[in-house]
Amino acid sequence: MAYFDNISKIKYEGAQSKDPLAFKFYNPEEQINGKSMEELMRFGVAYWHTFTEDLSDPFGVGTAQRPWDKYSDPMEKAKARVEAAFEFFEKLGVPYFCFHDYDIAPEGKNLKETLENQDIIVDMIEDHMRDSKVKLLWNTVNNFTNPMFVHGASTSNNADVFAYSAAKVKKGLEVGKRLGAESYVFWGGREGYESLLNTNMGLELDNLARFFHMANDYAKEIGFDAQFLIEPKPKEPTSHQYDFDVAHGFAFLQKYGLENVFKFNIEANHATLAGHSFEHELHYARINGMLGSVDANQGHPHLGWDTDEFPSDLYSTTLAMYEILKNGGLEKGGLNFDAKVRRTSFKPEDLFKAHIVGMDSFAIGAKVAQRLLDDKALENIIDNRYSSYNDGIGKEIVTGNTDFKKLQDYAYGIDKIEHESGNVEVIKSILNQYLVTTLAK
Amino acid sequence: MAYFDNISKIKYEGAQSKDPLAFKFYNPEEQINGKSMEELMRFGVAYWHTFTEDLSDPFGVGTAQRPWDKYSDPMEKAKARVEAAFEFFEKLGVPYFCFHDYDIAPEGKNLKETLENQDIIVDMIEDHMRDSKVKLLWNTVNNFTNPMFVHGASTSNNADVFAYSAAKVKKGLEVGKRLGAESYVFWGGREGYESLLNTNMGLELDNLARFFHMANDYAKEIGFDAQFLIEPKPKEPTSHQYDFDVAHGFAFLQKYGLENVFKFNIEANHATLAGHSFEHELHYARINGMLGSVDANQGHPHLGWDTDEFPSDLYSTTLAMYEILKNGGLEKGGLNFDAKVRRTSFKPEDLFKAHIVGMDSFAIGAKVAQRLLDDKALENIIDNRYSSYNDGIGKEIVTGNTDFKKLQDYAYGIDKIEHESGNVEVIKSILNQYLVTTLAK
Amino acid sequence: MAYFDNISKIKYEGAQSKDPLAFKFYNPEEQINGKSMEELMRFGVAYWHTFTEDLSDPFGVGTAQRPWDKYSDPMEKAKARVEAAFEFFEKLGVPYFCFHDYDIAPEGKNLKETLENQDIIVDMIEDHMRDSKVKLLWNTVNNFTNPMFVHGASTSNNADVFAYSAAKVKKGLEVGKRLGAESYVFWGGREGYESLLNTNMGLELDNLARFFHMANDYAKEIGFDAQFLIEPKPKEPTSHQYDFDVAHGFAFLQKYGLENVFKFNIEANHATLAGHSFEHELHYARINGMLGSVDANQGHPHLGWDTDEFPSDLYSTTLAMYEILKNGGLEKGGLNFDAKVRRTSFKPEDLFKAHIVGMDSFAIGAKVAQRLLDDKALENIIDNRYSSYNDGIGKEIVTGNTDFKKLQDYAYGIDKIEHESGNVEVIKSILNQYLVTTLAK
Amino acid sequence: MAYFDNISKIKYEGAQSKDPLAFKFYNPEEQINGKSMEELMRFGVAYWHTFTEDLSDPFGVGTAQRPWDKYSDPMEKAKARVEAAFEFFEKLGVPYFCFHDYDIAPEGKNLKETLENQDIIVDMIEDHMRDSKVKLLWNTVNNFTNPMFVHGASTSNNADVFAYSAAKVKKGLEVGKRLGAESYVFWGGREGYESLLNTNMGLELDNLARFFHMANDYAKEIGFDAQFLIEPKPKEPTSHQYDFDVAHGFAFLQKYGLENVFKFNIEANHATLAGHSFEHELHYARINGMLGSVDANQGHPHLGWDTDEFPSDLYSTTLAMYEILKNGGLEKGGLNFDAKVRRTSFKPEDLFKAHIVGMDSFAIGAKVAQRLLDDKALENIIDNRYSSYNDGIGKEIVTGNTDFKKLQDYAYGIDKIEHESGNVEVIKSILNQYLVTTLAK
Ligand SMILES: [Co+2]
Ligand SMILES: [Co+2]
Ligand SMILES: [Co+2]
Ligand SMILES: [Co+2]
Ligand SMILES: [Co+2]
Ligand SMILES: [Co+2]
Ligand SMILES: [Co+2]
Ligand SMILES: [Co+2]
């Protein structure tokens, strides 16, 4: 049966279309620097926001109208969601999806039943994947919703919870292998603290590292070669999340000898909550060889929580695609829409419309970014700006052929230091010019 | 003599120009809804940021390279600035300028000498204005830089400072009348508090109102019919500025019977520091009949102080122009660039380049906004969304023909409340579509 | 039956007690400036956070262990909550409580059944109040949780929702009258906007004013003489709430002729989310004659949402009590604990412990504040600081006997303006000195 | 000659003193856990804020009244400052001071003259130190004020600036060695970016690491064994500073093999601007063995820039001293007052008063923190909270004797996970209880 009867396969209609159920800019086959848009962007649908989110907020119950809610039995509903999900993926034309264990199958009355429930649904997903081109970008487990995780999961003060969390991630790795997940994500749910006053941060971080090492060992043991990813977030639900931002994660990974095991899954809204721009986090990860995947969404500039909005800011999508293109694409990662429709966008068709907005926004970003790169519009500015390191004293510095004494001798001889303008205003207007002139038809 | 020898009159070259010293989108004569761009936008140059700012910051001395700095005598430098200013205005092709008293003329050793210095420079400005089409958008006085204002000006705990401030504003009104200022601005410099613990806020606010009433009385007395404007700002330099945002100013004006005397001069960066969007402040002022003028700039999304950047964010310029067009223009106000070049953009030509960026950004905004209005792209959505108030119970409500008892009777009869989606995601993508399809050549 | 079997009546044990179930500083009969602590502080328990909150958050289901959750029938549970509530009030020794309609009784299948459910529970509450000294500080209605309020209540785009909201508030006023509520609160739930792009703010604000006028008319009609209160909040759940802060509310009330009908219910956490200190909002309301009541809680300094923590910051409680003492108390208002235990404090006894923390924190604040007032520790500093307005030109200014011309004449004669230090650092240390020396036993 | 004629040696008078020029809580000889307060806290005066700061802000010129400003010749003024400084240190009774090169001696017309100026003043400081017990806590160089550093110092795009910066730091290391500095600080002035769009972050970070390695090599070469310290700051003056917070610095140091060369100098106001609490940064550095020294100040909770206020918040000083006591003191670091008097506290005596406030605030913090530790008030809570890791499965986890398979087997056998309350509210009230009962006389 169909859950989105009144929706047809979404088509590309071009920049002038007024149909909210058509792509205006995302044309999957269109080539960008030798890849199709589909291959370059590797869009993924987040199972949680699209199929289990009810659009409740702290001040109101859910508003979502979802056809599968006609089922009240949890397993019946879970099965209906799988049907709806594959119908959605194919009508939207998206190559990937992502999920937590509890998104796809309900918890049972104990661990055994919980894992059995998963097996039933994973069988069903596997069947659907066989008949479909849709693949699993990444999976993960939800170790934060159940009250047992109230004090954290692998950083809980309660060793039983550490064990329980391990059991669930073990299953997650097995499920990932079975469904061919390209990456596996660790978002630190409640790995952080409510208050320093009752927290042993040293022990908690050591335990987190122990957990990651055991996960890596087990993945190797079963031959699951997905890219491991940490998804940083600065706060919420805890007051301080240990994986605060990419730099916090990178410091942690290096301290515990895990920097070659993990890369980062960078979420736009998490970046901005940490006081960084989205492109900053992507750039910082990229130059450190740690850019793995992207949770494509956006925050609200005046709200202090994770709003997980569908991405529509074209500055953000352009600069994100710029980093991704500079990275040579995302390899085993993709652009996962960790984004939910607003509580006021509660109709089933809003799920399609919002994904289209996100995909079109990134498509615009990709086209503008590629044109910037083709023209070396920013690259030439930067190359020229740092040209003093290409020879003379600059070259001595970058090749390691100098020291403080030689540099002081050199400095004594400097008559006057001449600088060029940084030209920031003009560079921003170049970006604008590309933005408004690249896409009209 | 010329201060910008190597700069010619800035010309409009169209969207494909690569010349940082040409307009790509601002075409002064181009018509937008029956007005030329020049008439609609009424751009103004801020004397302070352009001619007196040295680009120092709390961690470094000034970097600005300004040809008039060859003069060391303050009055000689002031005169050179006037020459440079009119050369700048005419080469840039901007119809207005704005200044504080201390921008144009240096303080003397006492009040008398200070006002005499002003007279000399005002004579000179008047001469230049006679030979030019450039007009004075607004003037104001600087009652915050001198150490005498350390505890505020009209809200100082020291009555002598209140008197001194009054003397300066009296002169400001006279200068404004003489030079034909269209508006007169009150930005509350240090009118606020460092700490509540040593502050009599009640007295300070009463005194501020007394000051404004006296200013209005004096303006009437001398026949100066400029629009009085309060420029809200939430914080900086004080921890709490009394004119925090438009709503704070509106509450104050109403309490003290001044709501018909003042409108607001809304600065983008002040809006965002107050936790609002620029367009929110414009909209709120507009629907309350209080939108007077605009300080066109932008803040940095991750910095907590007034960065006064040149406006380049096209979402912001588009939505600002949308409000201005809905307001039927700005009447006696305009778009004053209360914006400074970055400390890293220290060359004289950066002053031109940055103003061009600002003017082009607002020109794009104006064109996109007008097309949105022409197509009723947003207006139709809103009209349709609120249509329930056009008849039935909705009409009873808005025409005042109902009460709680009738409404309860009606509510008993409601079977089911049906809602439409708010469609926020799609509406944002419509804005994007207009942004990327309106301007290509 | 008893719901808190293992809890006895909470006793005052003094500053050295280590019992988390005893007061260390709140001694209800202790006199502060001629009133008992109980009379001065008028503590109230918030029904929602204490009896219906399940401690879920956006990333996890509820953790709260509540003995009344053994009932699954909504009306049975509602009745159990009333029993538990009065047991709680009396064991804690708190004189007031506050509720929303949906806190006390479940929604029915339509408006009629909903109001009938309320009647049943209100009967029961009335019975309990007859046998108790506990009184109703204020009530309100919840016009934000149900999906029908997805687009707002009295500011909904849907006129049916306006009518339904009116019906509910009408009942709320009747219930308030019946139970002797001293105040009646309007917190603007979803009265604000998700996005300006689809909002008619002018119509929404007009409708909000219409709603308030009708509420006032109906209260007068039924002889309900509670103090009406607006509770400002800047954002959450909407991106911009219309009652952003006290100043926004005050501007609105004046515009629509409602400034004599309403005062404000000021919540600490809402103040800080708006970029103000709690004491600022209290002070600003007080000097404008608009301080009505207080929602006593606190926010987390690094979190951008309403955390509604139990108040423990002694600077905040001291400065709040300072404003309340300066206001001559709160008249028909009180200190309502709009505060919830952390999700990690899920045991039934945590409800007692957290309230004790809040009451002790305010008791410390009251004692320190009263000692500051007794010694005129801050008042003398301020009186001295503004003494220039007691005679001479200062007196002319505050008595309205001067104008800009006279002030300029005076200013010409000023030789040098002398200032005193603002002494902010020392004043903060005086506060510290009072804090650490007032309470030891 | 004396610069503070009307100030006598500051004495400890006890908690009831009302003299703003006496200590109420800081008693240098009082013992705390076997150390005198003087030895434990190692207070330092910051030369820049105390002797060169003029109290200008972006909206006003300096207000500071400083007796040495009677000199106009820069070297005469520099010498007067040295005299004033040692008078200040001794009257205040502070054991340490800290400076940048340009604080003590003016720049000359070229590098040579600049370094010669330093030599003259360093001679003079050396003489004073010989006759005094005051020691140099740390020194550093100012590579950010001069326009040559407009694009950064060791991260400048201009190799000449890198060389010039190296020359200055070389001298700084020599001066530090000569004056016996216990630490040497690197605060990243303009090491960051204005905009990513014109920045080669990869090259800049590589160069920063090269610079640090060369500095370390040179310090070893000259036998300067001070502790190297990075002082993190998230933003200001640049939009993104590379040493954003301790975690960013730690990630960087590990990447470039510098983690054994550096520790961190943690500033309270920088911590809060980065979205962390001061105590968080101290704690995180401590558990990673990286806590070096402290810049003791505080920020304003509603202001988004570095206000560098004198520390007065007792929660903050208590929790900072708690971390320092847990760290066994600060070894080669200390509590440097990187704090300036407010612009409204412009009198010379305000410098003494504000330092007294800071020292008293930390003295209170130290006494409360030590009592918390003596009673194991928090330690017992934490030990008990994590006791599940002392045996059983918990012990297997922390000793590395388990894996995911064993943990899953264990998890299958868990019947029910039982949690204790986190007790956060009560723990906060314990802190309050200690705060208000420890210090009264
Ligand atoms: Co995510
Ligand atoms: Co998110
Ligand atoms: Co402005
Ligand atoms: Co500004
Ligand atoms: Co509240
Ligand atoms: Co709240
Ligand atoms: Co510092
Ligand atoms: Co600082």
Tens of pLDDT, residues D32-82:
999 999 999 999 999 999 999 999 999 999 999 999 999 999 999 999 999
With beta carbons less than 8 A apart as the criterion, state whether D139 and D175 touch.
Answer: yes
Question: Per the CB < 8 Å rule, is C303 touching A61?
Answer: no
Q: Is C53 annotated as a binding residue?
A: no
Using CB atoms within 10 A of its CB, is residue A82 exposed (0-12), middle (13-18) or buried (19+)?
Answer: buried
Helix (H) / strand (E) containing A12: strand A11-12
CA of A274 to the centre of ligand 2 (A): 12
What percent of chain C is modeled with pLDDT above 70?
100
Tell me how many residue pairs between chain B and chain D have CB atoms under 8 A apart.
Answer: 95
What confidence tier does C441 reach under pLDDT thresholds 50, 70, 90? low
**pLDDT per residue over D200-253, tens digit each?**
999 999 999 999 999 999 999 999 999 999 999 999 999 999 999 999 999 999
Q: What are phi and psi of D153, to 5 degrees?
A: -115, -90
Q: Is B322 helix (H, G, I), strand (E, B) or coil?
A: helix
Q: Is C355 annotated as a binding residue?
A: no
Q: DSSP letters along B115-169, please? A: HHHHHHHHHHHHHHHHTSS-EEEEEE---SSSGGGTT-STT-SSHHHHHHHHHHH
Mean pLDDT, residues C20-46: 97
- Alpha-carbon gap, residue B338 to B355, rounded angstroms: 11
- Alpha-carbon gap, residue D205 to D191, rounded angstroms: 9
* Residue C68: both structure tokens together: 């009344």
- Alpha-carbon gap, residue B361 to C18, rounded angstroms: 64
Tell me the pLDDT of chain C averaged across its residues. Answer: 98
Q: According to the model, what pLDDT value does residue C306 have?
A: 98
Window 23-52 of B, Cβ < 8 Å to A? 24-25
- Alpha-carbon gap, residue B343 to B11, rounded angstroms: 26
For chain C, say whether D344 makes contact (Cβ under 8 Å).
Answer: yes
**pLDDT of C366 above 80:** yes
Q: According to the model, what pLDDT value does residue D44 have?
A: 98
Q: Which residues are CB-neighbours of A53 under 8 A, at least 6 positions away? A: A64, A340
For B50, other C-beta atoms within 10 Å of its C-beta total 25
Spell out the domain ranges in chain B. Answer: 11-374, 378-439
Ligand positioned closest to the Cα atom of C265: 5
Tell me the pLDDT of chain A averaged across its residues. Answer: 98
For chain D, say whether B197 makes contact (Cβ under 8 Å).
Answer: no
Residues of B taking part in catalysis: 100, 103
Tabulate helix, strand, coil % of chain D (nearest 5). 50, 15, 40
Q: Give the global pTM.
A: 0.98
**pLDDT per residue over B300-348, tens digit each?**
999 999 999 999 999 999 999 999 999 999 999 999 999 999 999 999 9
Q: How many Cα neighbours within 13 Å face the side chain of B206?
A: 13
* ipTM, 2 dp: 0.98
Residue C111 one-letter amino acid: L
Question: Per the CB < 8 Å rule, is C111 touching B414?
Answer: yes
Q: Is A57 annotated as a binding residue?
A: no
**pLDDT of B185 above 70:** yes
Residue B173 one-letter amino acid: L
With beta carbons less than 8 A apart as the criterion, state whether B377 and B434 touch.
Answer: yes
Q: According to the model, what pLDDT value does residue A1 have?
A: 64
- Positive or negative CA dihedral for C51, C53, C55, C61? positive
Tell me the pLDDT of chain D averaged across its residues. Answer: 98
Mean pLDDT, residues B400-420: 97
Q: According to the model, what pLDDT value does residue D224 have?
A: 98
How does DSSP classify residue A298? B
Q: Which residues of A touch C58 (CB under 8 A)?
A: 57-58, 236-237, 305-306
Task: Return the CATH number of the domain spanning residue range D11-374.
Answer: 3.20.20.150
Say whether D128 is catalytic: no
Q: According to the model, what pLDDT value does residue D149 have?
A: 98
List b or e across C392-426, with b for residues whose CB sees 16 or more CB atoms inside 10 angstroms: ebbebbbeeebbbebbbebbeebeebebebbbbbb
**pLDDT per residue over C391-416, tens digit each?**
999 999 999 999 999 999 999 999 99
For chain A, say whether B417 makes contact (Cβ under 8 Å).
Answer: no
With beta carbons less than 8 A apart as the criterion, state whether D307 and D313 touch.
Answer: no
What percent of chain A is modeled with pLDDT above 70?
100
Mean pLDDT, residues B379-387: 98
Question: Per the CB < 8 Å rule, is B426 touching A342?
Answer: no
**pLDDT per residue over D71-122, tens digit each?**
999 999 999 999 999 999 999 999 999 999 999 999 999 999 999 999 999 9
**pLDDT of C301 above 70:** yes
* Matching residue, tokens 């030990």: D383
**pLDDT per residue over C96-133, tens digit each?**
999 999 999 999 999 999 999 999 999 999 999 999 99
Task: Indicate which residue of A101, A103, A243, A350 is catalytic.
Answer: A103
* Matching residue, tokens 């848009």: A37
Mean pLDDT, residues A59-86: 98
Q: Which residues of A touch D274 (CB under 8 A)?
A: 275
For chain B, say whether D180 makes contact (Cβ under 8 Å).
Answer: no
Q: Is C160 annotated as a binding residue?
A: no
Residue C232 one-letter amino acid: P
With beta carbons less than 8 A apart as the criterion, state whether C237 and A59 touch.
Answer: yes
Give the distance, in angstroms, between the CA of residue A433 and the centroid of all CA atoms in the same chain: 28
With beta carbons less than 8 A apart as the criterion, state whether C381 and B198 touch.
Answer: yes
Q: Which of B424, B427, B434, B435 to mutate to test the interface with A (most CBs of A within 10 A)?
A: B424
Q: According to the model, what pLDDT value does residue C1 have?
A: 64
What confidence tier does C160 reach under pLDDT thresholds 50, 70, 90? very high
Q: According to the model, what pLDDT value does residue D440 have?
A: 83
Question: A198 to each of A221, B109, D372, D378, D434, how far by Cα in Å?
Answer: 37, 61, 13, 7, 16
- Alpha-carbon gap, residue A303 to A291, rounded angstroms: 27
- Alpha-carbon gap, residue C330 to C409, rounded angstroms: 46
For chain A, say whether B353 makes contact (Cβ under 8 Å).
Answer: yes
Mean pLDDT, residues A175-182: 98
In B, minimum Cα distance to D302 occurs at B239
For chain D, say whether A87 makes contact (Cβ under 8 Å).
Answer: no
Question: Per the CB < 8 Å rule, is C378 touching B197?
Answer: yes
For D399, other C-beta atoms within 10 Å of its C-beta total 10
- Alpha-carbon gap, residue B313 to A315, rounded angstroms: 9
With beta carbons less than 8 A apart as the criterion, state whether B277 and B239 touch.
Answer: no
In C, minimum Cα distance to B407 occurs at C163
Nearest to B330 by CA among B11, B95, B131: B95
Q: Which of C55, C305, C353 to mutate to test the interface with A (most CBs of A within 10 A)?
A: C305
In A, minimum Cα distance to D304 occurs at A275
**pLDDT per residue over B133-160, tens digit each?**
999 999 999 999 999 999 999 999 999 9
CA angle B231, B236, B240 (to 5 degrees): 85
**pLDDT of D403 above 80:** yes
**pLDDT per residue over D137-184, tens digit each?**
999 999 999 999 999 999 999 999 999 999 999 999 999 999 999 999
What confidence tier does A440 reach under pLDDT thresholds 50, 70, 90? confident
What confidence tier does D1 reach under pLDDT thresholds 50, 70, 90? low
Q: According to the model, what pLDDT value does residue A99 have?
A: 98
With beta carbons less than 8 A apart as the criterion, state whether A425 and B352 touch.
Answer: no
For chain A, say whether D59 makes contact (Cβ under 8 Å).
Answer: no
Task: Indicate which residue of D5, D57, D73, D100 is catalytic.
Answer: D100
What confidence tier does A441 reach under pLDDT thresholds 50, 70, 90? low
- Alpha-carbon gap, residue A280 to A288, rounded angstroms: 12
With beta carbons less than 8 A apart as the criterion, state whether B386 and C157 touch.
Answer: yes
Q: According to the model, what pLDDT value does residue B88 have?
A: 98
A193 bridge partner residues: A240
**pLDDT of B404 above 90:** yes
Q: According to the model, what pLDDT value does residue A205 have?
A: 98
* Matching residue, tokens 């690259």: A379
